[in-house]
Copies of this chain bind each other. A is one copy, B any other.
Amino acid sequence: MLTDLGLDALWEYRSAHVRPDDFDSFWDSTLAEARSFDLDVEAVPVATPLQTLDVHDVSFAGFGGDRVHAWLRTPRGASGLPAVVQYHGYGGNRGSAVENLTWASAGFAHLQVQVRDQRGGTGFLTRGIADPSTYFYRRVFADAVRAVDAVRALGSTDVAVIGNSQGGGIALAVAGLVPDLAAVHTQAPFLCDIRRALNVCGRPPFTELTAYIAENRRSDVFRTLSYFDGVGFAARATAPAWFSVGLMDDIVPPSTVFGAYHAYAGPREMAVWEHSAHEAGGSDDLDIALDAFRSRLLEKP
């Protein structure tokens, strides 16, 4: 069943989210602070049974100089390839070194970033929420930008970002923070149009926020959240973006995805999966991304 507005209404819907006045300066200073640490990229080869691909455990200095890790997968012996930087979902992790091989097998440098502190677990949505400067996602988004810096430091000039759910939200944030991305694919992005999301969604992880506000009766957390809402980042983005949404998604309300989509300032496409839940288009979305990125990153004149 539909979990939110019908399709016609979604095309009409516009988010009421407003960026705070100092949104840009907040992120400028955040990135400046993050970049004040030497990036210090390390790439340690990982011994795997794979014969067609190389895998490295890449690490670099994220926000506050904390080490952030990522798998880098590349076709055996290749270097300098266009890169796809991927962010994972909430409560997930970067997975096994020898799985998720599609992007590298398709000729990309594939950097799969481990979100700090997340290997399973819950409670991240309220960590440090008392102030934007202490909020968990300030660190995560800065890490994500540094991951793009890192893959470039490793030799990739053209960089696309992708992710689903939390990963999609991170990808949108990076799209708003890094000016020269080649492309973006965001599937059922989390953390967009958050005030609306809490009104529509009754399932974790958004309910971590709902429960926190109810427990503390402090609706001023929306001030903090206003610096991290995907709608705000979308309005700063310029890279071509492919969105994907499932209209029966009960984890990320479709209207919040459309809220970000309609605000997106760059070229944009939306794949609507009317009967899908949070998985959206699944492997069909992957096909769309492969096709789009190949023509833009691998086959460019």
A168 CB to nearest B CB, Å: 18
Contacts of A18 in B (CB 8 A): none
| Contact B214–A105 (Cβ < 8 Å) | no
Contacts of A104 in B (CB 8 A): 52
Which chain B residue has the least Cβ–Cβ distance from A107? B51
| Contact B208–A93 (Cβ < 8 Å) | no
A133 in the interface (beta carbon within 8 A): no
A266 CB to nearest B CB, Å: 23
A21 in the interface (beta carbon within 8 A): no
Write out, one digit per residue, whether chain A residues 6-40 have a CB within 8 A of any chain B CB (1) or not (0): 10000000000000000000000000000000000
| Contact A121–B50 (Cβ < 8 Å) | no
Interface residues of A in 199-220 (CB under 8 A from B): 199-202, 208, 210-217, 219
Selecting from A179-187, A225-233, A257-265, A274-282, the interface stretch reads A274-282
| Contact B273–A217 (Cβ < 8 Å) | yes
A123 in the interface (beta carbon within 8 A): yes
A120 in the interface (beta carbon within 8 A): yes
| Contact B105–A51 (Cβ < 8 Å) | yes
Taking a contact as CB atoms closer than 8 A, the residue among B2, B217, B273, B274 that contacts A282 in the complex is: B217
With A2-B199, A105-B52: A119-B215 Cβ-Cβ less than 8 Å: yes
| Contact B53–A105 (Cβ < 8 Å) | yes
A258 CB to nearest B CB, Å: 17
A290 in the interface (beta carbon within 8 A): yes
| Contact B199–A1 (Cβ < 8 Å) | yes
Selecting from A60-68, A95-103, A157-165, the interface stretch reads A95-103
A205 CB to nearest B CB, Å: 10
Which chain B residue has the least Cβ–Cβ distance from A210? B275
Assembled-state Cα–Cα distance A208/B119 (Å) = 12
A106 in the interface (beta carbon within 8 A): yes
Q: 24 A–B contact pairs at CB < 8 A?
A: A1-B198, A1-B199, A1-B201, A1-B210, A6-B199, A50-B106, A51-B105, A52-B76, A53-B105, A96-B282, A98-B290, A99-B286, A105-B105, A119-B215, A120-B215, A121-B123, A121-B208, A213-B274, A214-B246, A214-B273, A214-B277, A214-B279, A217-B276, A217-B284
Taking A52-B53, A52-B76, A98-B105 as known contacts, 4 extra A-B pairs with beta carbons closer than 8 A to each other, sorted by chain A number, are A49-B106, A51-B107, A121-B212, A214-B277
